[in-house]
Structure 1
Amino acid sequence: MHDEPVRVLLVDDEAGFTDVLTKRMGRRGFAVVSADSGTKAIQILRKEDFDVVVLDLKMEEMDGIEILQVIRKMIPGLPVIMLTGHGSETAARDGLRYGAYDYLLKPCDLEELVHKLRKAAASSMQEKTNRTD
């Protein structure tokens, strides 16, 4: 059971960024599904289970805070790591207020992201275990 890969939903409207990040995370043992909009992310979350969501703050159709608020209503305990460009740290801190697990500045260091993903997934697993006990 513990050998299963961490399932990550990557939400970002920059296709080049998500393609590269999906491949790099896949090589590190993560099972990554990407969505290029908030609407697609929400549709995917209705059908599939994830351990962690990586969510870009600035997107065209819905911003990351709006998507985060929907995720909090749908799956309250699901850890969400916000990605934000430089100069948007205030918005990222708003994300923490709305229940994000953590945030990273883009372009993010892959090893730092991997570390935060593993930590978030572990806390998510712990919370699920506590609920079933």
Structure 2
Amino acid sequence: MTEVPIRVLLVDDELGFLDVLAKRMGKRGYAVTTAGSGAESIRVLRDHDFDVAVLDLKLDDMDGIEVLQIMKKMVPDMPVIMLTGHGSEKAAREGVKSGAFDYLLKPCDLDDLLDKIGQAVAG
């Protein structure tokens, strides 16, 4: 039986980081779709199903918490993992209160992120 890859929506406005992370996850067997903005992530989410979203807290076009709240309205059961840098752990904790599964500090170790995705998908 072939194992079905975990479908990940990866949202970050740092396109270099987004590209590298998507490629590394793809090599590990994840089906990754990227979005470079909050608005793009919402458009993509309308048209595709995902097992989990990894969402940067600081986006150019929208606040990450706002994007999280829209995602949770659209797909209430989809776990969302927040990524945060810039010393904004307080905002990340706010994200967890708003329905995020958990958060990781950027830059995060790939194995830590994949472990967190596994936990989120396992429920």
TM range (shorter): over 0.9
AA at the equivalent of 2:23: K
**TM alignment of 1:38-117, pairs within 5 A:** 38-117=38-117
Number of residue pairs the alignment of both structures matches: 123
Q: Is 2:31 aligned against 1:35?
A: no
Provide the rounded CA distance (Å) in 1 between the counterparts of 2:122 and 2:94: 24
**TM-score normalised per structure 2:** 0.97
Provide the rounded CA distance (Å) in 1 between the counterparts of 2:72 and 2:23: 27
Provide the rounded CA distance (Å) in 1 between the counterparts of 2:11 and 2:121: 17
Identity percentage of aligned residues: 63
- Encode CA deviations 1:24-67: one digit per residue, 9 max, x unaligned: 00111100000001111001000000000000000111011000
1:126: which partner in 2? none
* Deviation, structure 1 residue 70: 0.2
Structure with the bigger percentage of helix: 1
- Encode CA deviations 1:39-98: one digit per residue, 9 max, x unaligned: 110010000000000000001110110000101111111100000004100000000000
Instruction: Kindly report structure 1 stretches of 4+ aligned residues shifted beyond 2 Å.
Output: none
* Deviation, structure 1 residue 12: 0.3
Provide the rounded CA distance (Å) in 1 between the counterparts of 2:37 and 2:86: 21
**TM-score normalised per structure 1:** 0.90
Provide the rounded CA distance (Å) in 2 between the counterparts of 1:105 and 1:74: 25
AA at the equivalent of 2:26: G
Q: How well do the aligned residues superpose, as a CA RMSD in angstroms?
A: 1.1
Q: Name structure 2 gaps, 5 residues minimum.
A: none
AA at the equivalent of 1:3: E
| Structure showing greater Rg | 1
